[in-house]
Structure 1
């Protein structure tokens, strides 16, 4: 079978790498190649960044009013809506996510562009009540310049939208480096941006690998802001690379998010929330609620219900509407999950369900599948309670009191998300105040909105995406002083 052939998107045109190098992308469901992509070099990255820089200072983009930029974003949202099926199919193909989830996610994606379109002309400066009667001072918020967006493979379109939409709303230009495992849908998004009317060079896509294309992009001297989503190990490389250009940074990293279940919770709802938090998307979510903290009085009941529901999860072809869990995106990630489960068992954990690769009835599904897995860990310091799996693996432990639950929840170097399951409103508010996480869901889990900021504490990164904070993070504040006096300046050696 011939492989689909994709090209990069630079300066409004599709193109190959300057050295014609290419690599194969693998189908996670079958572990076979399905497409080829250009393997960008540092020279290709340089071309893309310079195209973005030229577009940033070019008259066509710079002369647009903020309202006009908003209209372009709204048009792009409309085009995404019109092409939902194409984008959803590509994303499911390249990362193995369920087609019903990619359809839902892409179907909601226009809302991010509509929201940011509305904010484009709401970025305002301030008139300062300055303490010098012969002076006037005010501030202006201006776009930063070229933005580098580094996108992982688990939700490429969504994670691109929450970076690109606010960056464009603020008036910046962007170079996207998607994961080598999931680039197709991002290339199609860039083509839709051109169709919407964005000037050439405003949105560019380079494909390739982190050590070459990613490193060249994050350290490029013309890049002024780096928006990165991924693991903390790669983030450290990004931070070091940014020392070359002193670029602004926003980092949305991993997590080991707790889900805390109290005796007064709706048990069935909590179980569904836990399943959604750790087994949906095969656990490949930064906010995966994989640390289950369950009150001792309901511990066995809840653990058994989770195990029973995990046993009924339909594993199979992600393109099948009946499938509830597809493959993991990469073989390397599957190996990490297997290693961490093996370590947990060596440390004394009890396996309640899963822990191995499933046997599937379809002989063509030879890809990177793993059973939904639930373990009970004896100690909160156990490896599985502390390390991010990024796979369908949950670790459970009981607690006695609210104070103990809080201590367990905060016993992590991460702080991205948390789930709290209780009908006690006062308890919910106490924990929302005291749990160290950037996102907290009460009696629900894995809900997003363009209006709600996303970001974490600790090793889960810094900066916020979505909401008005996102647009402001892609701007720089300038202070302007106006002398209102006709009197000549006094002593030039004394600062006023």
Structure 2
């Protein structure tokens, strides 16, 4: 299978490449020891970005700047309305620069440009939602402790937050973290993935334009060992918010535990769409195709498992295969593309190996299963693996590619057991017209989100996160700003002391 990449797109990707610096203490700087990095576009095979990479010295500079801004700067002491105004201006600037940011994410990550635009628009909406929460964050008072006592519970910003984001949603995921930390009055050090850093750097530019004080947001570019590890271990960091693989998440929690930092972890998933015979099957087929192949399956929320009733499996998979043929794999800058490029050649090989190992284990490849030759970048054909047994690796482990594993069930309790057989618990989908079935399954599976008769919808108002080894804590939702705060109890007593410990 071969794929043609438009030479004009390759020329656009090659135009530059732009060199990006780090933002530390309100200034754009190179790394202290001169480290450099570059990004080859996964969809076009050419260098598109060059970066000034940081090291431990640069993390130290950034944390010092964030700590200074927290203790001496105006940000934590501002009125909530003033912080909200900066977040709202940032949202306006994101929208004004939507096309620029979307093209950077499409070129660096390989995602389709139409999808990237939707993500940037969604990010702007999240910034606005965070601004609204800045003005509603509040504590409590207790006037029921007796005539001489008043209790007050304050919500204070937790302090300096290290924010580490992945490559699959470069701009959207930082929007699920940073604006809520800022709304609470925190300062931050942000490390985007070394493969997709450009849009986060642009966000830094927009924040400065929006009026963020110097040192409140610092952006350090580079790799996990050179930068991320020091951001997690630094004793002056109060909280770590991380999105990435469960493997790296475990190491991050372990490192953060040495100084008892608060952690927020959004990690991996092996998410199932469960389809019962009474479902709207046409809608379920479309959602299953979307869930499996959206963002080339490089998504923690991907519907990478289809758990389907045996009575409808044959017809459902035939309809799935027909619809999957209409999914256009291609150039990320092509407006018609549905599935773009795979992030790196090494990751493409990992996906292909997962599929071939499943075939060796006895599963069958219904469609796809192979890389697509292009001569420019790396692409994977949408793939369906049927005949999957619960004990197979592909049934349990995250592939993180456009690969759907199909498991069949006969009874409702068996479907629930299949969903629960992995260590992950991020999300699931249930397809049934029967409210009893939908409610029972949704209440029974241990996942942070369950979609009923839909899949992968998202709203800033609804909390997002996982159970089991899919993470710790929640992002978004009305409590998102509280997550970046600490509760402080103050007790006021009036009048003479009424309970002498030693007689007076």
- Report the TM-score range of the alignment, normalised by the length of the smaller protein: over 0.9
2:271 paired residue number: 257
**1:264-413 equivalence runs, <5 A:** 264-360=278-374, 363=375, 366-413=376-423
Q: Tell me, yes or no, if the aligned pair for 1:141 and 1:475 is still in contact at 8 Å.
A: yes
2:485 paired residue number: 475
Candidates 119, 124, 139, aligned match of 1:125: 139
Deviation at 1:125, TM superposition (A): 1.1
Question: Does residue 236 in structure 1 map to residue 250 in structure 2?
Answer: yes
Q: Tell me, yes or no, if the aligned pair for 1:49 and 1:146 is still in contact at 8 Å.
A: yes
Tell me the SS of whatever aligns to 1:470.
coil
**1:133-172 equivalence runs, <5 A:** 133-172=147-186
Unmatched segments (≥5 aa) in structure 1: none
Per-residue CA distance 1:342-394 (angstroms, 9 max, x = gap): 1101110011000101245xx5xx21211100011341111110000110001
How many residues were matched structurally? Answer: 490
Alpha-carbon distance in structure 2 between the residues aligned to 1:230 and 1:218? 14
Deviation at 1:285, TM superposition (A): 0.5
* Change in CA separation of 1:220 and 1:492 when aligned onto 2, cut-off 3 Å: farther
Deviation at 1:131, TM superposition (A): 4.1
Alpha-carbon distance in structure 1 between the residues aligned to 2:439 and 2:297? 28
Alpha-carbon distance in structure 2 between the residues aligned to 1:87 and 1:158? 11
Candidates 441, 446, 452, aligned match of 1:436: 446
Q: Tell me, yes or no, if the aligned pair for 1:311 and 1:353 is still in contact at 8 Å.
A: no
Alpha-carbon distance in structure 2 between the residues aligned to 1:201 and 1:244? 26
Alpha-carbon distance in structure 2 between the residues aligned to 1:124 and 1:316? 49
Q: Tell me, yes or no, if the aligned pair for 2:70 and 2:159 is still in contact at 8 Å.
A: yes
Q: Tell me, yes or no, if the aligned pair for 1:254 and 1:459 is still in contact at 8 Å.
A: yes
Q: Tell me, yes or no, if the aligned pair for 1:258 and 1:419 is still in contact at 8 Å.
A: yes
Alpha-carbon distance in structure 2 between the residues aligned to 1:61 and 1:17? 26
1:7 paired residue number: 21
Deviation at 1:172, TM superposition (A): 0.3
Unmatched segments (≥5 aa) in structure 2: 1-13
Alpha-carbon distance in structure 1 between the residues aligned to 2:346 and 2:478? 37
* Change in CA separation of 1:131 and 1:18 when aligned onto 2, cut-off 3 Å: same
Candidates 204, 210, 216, aligned match of 1:190: 204
Deviation at 1:309, TM superposition (A): 2.1
Deviation at 1:4, TM superposition (A): 1.6
* Change in CA separation of 1:9 and 1:135 when aligned onto 2, cut-off 3 Å: same
Q: Tell me, yes or no, if the aligned pair for 2:40 and 2:48 is still in contact at 8 Å.
A: yes
1:415 paired residue number: 425
Deviation at 1:429, TM superposition (A): 1.1
Per-residue CA distance 1:212-233 (angstroms, 9 max, x = gap): 1000101111110100000011
Deviation at 1:98, TM superposition (A): 0.5
1:71 paired residue number: 85
Q: Tell me, yes or no, if the aligned pair for 2:269 and 2:426 is still in contact at 8 Å.
A: yes
Q: Tell me, yes or no, if the aligned pair for 1:223 and 1:245 is still in contact at 8 Å.
A: no
Q: Tell me, yes or no, if the aligned pair for 1:262 and 1:295 is still in contact at 8 Å.
A: yes
1:222 paired residue number: 236
Alpha-carbon distance in structure 2 between the residues aligned to 1:330 and 1:223? 32
Deviation at 1:312, TM superposition (A): 2.7
Question: Does residue 459 in structure 1 map to residue 469 in structure 2?
Answer: yes
1:178 paired residue number: 192
Per-residue CA distance 1:258-316 (angstroms, 9 max, x = gap): 10011111111111111111101100110011110111111011111222222332111
Tell me the SS of whatever aligns to 1:40.
coil
Per-residue CA distance 1:54-92 (angstroms, 9 max, x = gap): 111124223311111111111111111111011101111
Candidates 205, 213, 223, aligned match of 1:199: 213
